[in-house]
Every structure is written in structure tokens, then in C-alpha cells.
């Protein structure tokens, strides 16, 4: 177990820079989740920590020691791959014990480490099988087992659950969380599944285009997204955005929409009057019914737990999530209103505007 410090990490492939200076301080025992859209450099960052990619610029420190130039095997980390990368010619037990055997660990120690890991992961019945003869979920467990037998300083996960079906993913997610609770090892987990990110993380690192957008606890990112990207990326269905202009008013700040109507804001902001801003509101925070602005219902998606309404508000697409099973049909009109305390305000550059 150890802290991991990432200092101004750059990565280029030839002339193309894919990571533009990433800084991250990970505390001992913390569970960090890297999220971001495909191609934003999550895997690249993880693989640099693992030693599988060369560092173009910056430093990586594990437990305070610079490890930029250390071989992967000398970094004392374990990695779980999306493809599991199990050795097909070895049995489950051999897969799990490979690293220990390479380190010339005494036989009894290897056996006890493997059996402890196997019973923790429910793999006892499969120890003599080849990976070929296992289901996807079982293979995933073997990959986890291979990582934990060694008791490394840190675990790295690169989308370990993305090859599993939804039900199994949910189950493994809970198990990973439980396992982290028991082992308490520093973990970095890459995913683009935001439910995984929200449920697992102590802190989420949201990345976009090779740049860290925001670091914070899951609810931090959900409640106070630092910019439009994070606001749109975290949450499902995604946040609604409306172009508007800021109106300080006289003690009653508001945003003027394109059609001239006003939306009341919770606070005053340090903005010039008439500054263009983007209003954000999550679909689950929009209130349906009562007083409000007219919107046409275009499509209804019942999810069982609730319903996603696709509306056209002032001609723009707009989503609402409601657990209220009111009978609204496509073609109906709905009245929507925006509770001020749930509104987010972003400036022209997309950065969150802080309240005065």
C-alpha cells in the first residue's frame, strides 16, 4: 500500500500529444476512478503508471519514490486488464501463482496465498481448470485473484468489467468495493461507466482530451460540476443545457432565455448584466406539472423505476426524468419548471460560475 503522485505527466505518440500535463495526488488506500469518453487518455495514464508506456514528461512517484524508469515488475503494482489477459496454458491456480513463483516464493507460501485468494473470490472449485473452461465472470475473478495474491502496493484496473453483462457487472462492482474495503489497497480504476465511477470511487478524476477536468468525490462532481464537460458527462440521462443571458435584477437574479422569458436563479453571480451563460439542470431535478413553461412531449422512455420524457422546449431537445407515473403521452403538452436551487450556471468558456 502506498500513495501515488502524478506530477505534470505528458505523453506523446510521435508528434501527437495525448496527455497534456496531468497532476494527481493519490492518498494511501484511496480508490480513484478515472472516467472520460473514449480516447481521452485514461488507459494511457494507467499504463504509464504500470510501466507499460514510456513517460514523455513529468514524474510518477509511488510511496515517494520516482519510478519513471523502473521496469513494470519492479514497481510492485498489479493490473487487471479488460481482456483479463489470463495465461491460457496455465490452470487457474498457476495463473494466480505465476508472479509468486517467478519471485521464488516458498511453495507453502504460494499455496496458502492462492487458496486464500481463491476462497475470497469463490474460485476454489475451479483451481485446476484452464481459463478456457471458465465463464466470463469466473475469468474476471481469476484476473482479480492474480492481482491480489501478490499483495502489491497498488491495484490498477482498466475497464475490468466492461466485458460482462449488466447483472454480473453490478455484482462484481459490489465485490470489488467489498474487496477494497478488506484489503484497503490504493486502487486506480479506469471506466467509462459512470455508475461504476459513482459507486466505487473515493474520488473521481474526470478526463477529457488528455486533460483532467475535475477531481472530487462522486457527489462533488454530481452536485458541483466544474465545467460543462463534467456536467454533461456525469449523470444519466445527461444534464440539460439552455443558452441564456445573465440578468442581475434587483435582488432577484435571473437568466433570460432566447424567447425572452426569465428563469429565476438561486444567487447573484459576479457577472456583467447580459453576459451570455449556459444554464444547466439535471433531468431528475426538473419539476413537471403546476405552473411552468409549455413543452411538447416527443417521446417517452419508461425504465420501470421511472420515466424519461423527451421534450421540445422552445424547439430545443430537453430531457426530464420523473418517478411519477403520471399519464403523459407523446404529443401531449407538459408544464416544466426549474427549481432555482438545482440550477447550474456556466460561463462562455464552459467553466462553472461561482455564486457571489
Chain residues binding other proteins by CB under 8 A are 50-52, 71-73, 77-79, 81, 83, 85-90, 98-99, 102-103, 130, 132, 146, 150
- The residue (of 46 and 288) whose beta carbon lies closer to ligand ATP is 46
Residue 44 in the binding site for Mg ion (CB under 5 A): no
The site partner of 44 among ligand ATP, Mg ion, other proteins, none (C-beta below 5 to 8 Å per kind) is ligand ATP
Report the distance separating Cα 79 and Cα 263, nearest Å. Answer: 49
- Residue 82 Cβ vs ligand ATP, minimum distance, rounded to whole Å: 8
- Options 43, 140, 186, 240; binder of Mg ion; rule CB under 5 A: 43
Closest contact distance (angstroms) between CB of 131 and other proteins is 10
Rg (CA), the chain: 24
Q: Among other proteins, ligand ATP, Mg ion, none, what does residue 132 contact (CB within 5–8 Å per kind)?
A: other proteins
CB of 37 or CB of 276, closer to ligand ATP: 37
Contact 205, 41 (CB under 8 A): no
| Torsion over CA: 221, 226, 232, 238 (sign) | positive
Q: Which does 18 bind (CB under 5 to 8 A by kind): ligand ATP, Mg ion, other proteins, none?
A: ligand ATP
Query: Between 118 and 143, whose beta carbon lies closer to ligand ATP?
Result: 143
- Looking at beta carbons only, is 146 or 352 nearer to other proteins? 146
Of 41-49, 145-153, 288-296, 307-315: span binding Mg ion (CB under 5 A): 41-49
Q: Map grid coordinates 474460485 to a residue.
A: 123
In this structure, what C-alpha cell is assigned to residue 118?
A: 481463491
What 3-state DSSP class applies to 210? coil
Alpha-carbon distances of 237 from 25, 114, 130, 213, 320, rounded to whole Å:
31, 42, 41, 20, 8
| Cα-based distances in Å from 340 to 56, 236, 273, 347, 348 | 46, 21, 19, 17, 20
116-119: long-range contacts, CB 8 A cutoff, minimum separation 24? 116/149, 117/145, 117/148, 117/149, 118/92, 118/93, 118/145
Site residues (CB under 6 A) for ligand ATP? Answer: 13, 18, 36, 38-44, 192
Interface residues with Mg ion (CB under 5 A)? Answer: 43
Amino acid at each position: 500500500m502506498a500513495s501515488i503522485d502524478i506530477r505534470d505527466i505528458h505523453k506523446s505518440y510521435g508528434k501527437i500529444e495525448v496527455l497534456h500535463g496531468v497532476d494527481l495526488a493519490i492518498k494511501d488506500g484511496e480508490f480513484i476512478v478515472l472516467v472520460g469518453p473514449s480516447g481521452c487518455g485514461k488507459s494511457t495514464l494507467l499504463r504509464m503508471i504500470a510501466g507499460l508506456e514510456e513517460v514523455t514528461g513529468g514524474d510518477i512517484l509511488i510511496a515517494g519514490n520516482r519510478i519513471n524508469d523502473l521496469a513494470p515488475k519492479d514497481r510492485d503494482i498489479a493490473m487487471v486488464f479488460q481482456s483479463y489477459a489470463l495465461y491460457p496454458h496455465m490452470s487457474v491456480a498457476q495463473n494466480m501463482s505465476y508472479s509468486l513463483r517467478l519471485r521464488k516464493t516458498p511453495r507453502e507460501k504460494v499455496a496458502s496465498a492462492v487458496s486464500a485468494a481463491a476462497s475470497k473470490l469463490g474460485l476454489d472449485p475451479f483451481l485446476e481448470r484452464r481459463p478456457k473452461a471458465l465463464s466470463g465472470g469466473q475469468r474476471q475473478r481469476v484476473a482479480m485473484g492474480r492481482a491480489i495474491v501478490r499483495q502489491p502496493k497498488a491495484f490498477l484496473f482498466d475497464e475490468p468489467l466492461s466485458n460482462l453483462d449488466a447483472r454480473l457487472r453490478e455484482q462484481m462492482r459490489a465485490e470489488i468495493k467489498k474487496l477494497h474495503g478488506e484489503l484497503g489497497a490504493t486502487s486506480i480504476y479506469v471506466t467509462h461507466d459512470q455508475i461504476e465511477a459513482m459507486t466505487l470511487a473515493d474520488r473521481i478524476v474526470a478526463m477529457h482530451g488528455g486533460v483532467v477536468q475535475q477531481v472530487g468525490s462522486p457527489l462533488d462532481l454530481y452536485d458541483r460540476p466544474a465545467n460543462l464537460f463534467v456536467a454533461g458527462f456525469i449523470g444519466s440521462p445527461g444534464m440539460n443545457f439552455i443558452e441564456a443571458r445573465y440578468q442581475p435584477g434587483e435582488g432577484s437574479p435571473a437568466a433570460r432565455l432566447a424567447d425572452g422569458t426569465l428563469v429565476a436563479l438561486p444567487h447573484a453571480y459576479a457577472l456583467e448584466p447580459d453576459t451570455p451563460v449556459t444554464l444547466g439542470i439535471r433531468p431528475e431535478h426538473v419539476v413537471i406539472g403546476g405552473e411552468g413553461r409549455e413543452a411538447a412531449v416527443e417521446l417517452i422512455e419508461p425504465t420501470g423505476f421511472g420515466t424519461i420524457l423527451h421534450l421540445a422546449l422552445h424547439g430545443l431537445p430537453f430531457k426530464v426524468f420523473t418517478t411519477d407515473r403520471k399519464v403523459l403521452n407523446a404529443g401531449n403538452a407538459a408544464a416544466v419548471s426549474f427549481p432555482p436551487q438545482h440550477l447550474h450556471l456556466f460561463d462562455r468558456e464552459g467553466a462553472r460560475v461561482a455564486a457571489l
